[in-house]
Amino acid sequence: MKFRFMSRLGLVAAIFLALPSAASAADKVKAVASFSILGDMVAQVGGDRVDVATLVGPNGDAHVFSPTPADAKALASADVFFVNGLGFEGWIERLKRSSGFRGEVVVASGGVKPLTVDEEGADTVDPHAWQDLANGKIYVANIRDALIAADPDGKSVYEANAAKYLDAIAGEDRAVKAALDALLAARRKIITSHDAFGYFGAAYGIEIIAPQGVSTDSEASAQDVAKIIRQIKKAKVPAVFIETVTDPRLLDQIARETGAKIGGALYSDALSEPDGPAPTYLDMFRHNVEAITQALSY
Ligand SMILES: [Zn+2]
pLDDT tens, 153-203? 999 999 999 999 999 999 999 999 999 999 998 889 999 988 999 999 999
CA of 212 to the centre of ligand 1 (A): 10
CA of 84 to the centre of ligand 1 (A): 11
Q: Is 141 exposed, middle or buried (0-12, 13-18, 19+ CB in 10 A)?
A: middle
What local confidence, expressed as pLDDT, does residue 236 receive?
85
CA of 218 to the centre of ligand 1 (A): 12
CA of 12 to the centre of ligand 1 (A): 54
CA of 269 to the centre of ligand 1 (A): 5
**Can you give the C-alpha Rg of the chain in angstroms?**
23
pLDDT in tens, 198-243: 999 999 999 998 888 888 887 888 888 888 888 888 888 888 898 8
CA of 175 to the centre of ligand 1 (A): 24
Other Cβ atoms within 10 Å of 8 Cβ, number: 10
Separation CA 115–CA 221 (nearest Å) = 23
- Beta-bridged to residue 207, according to DSSP, are 189
- Length of the chain counted residue by residue: 298
By three-state DSSP, how is residue 125 classified?
A: strand
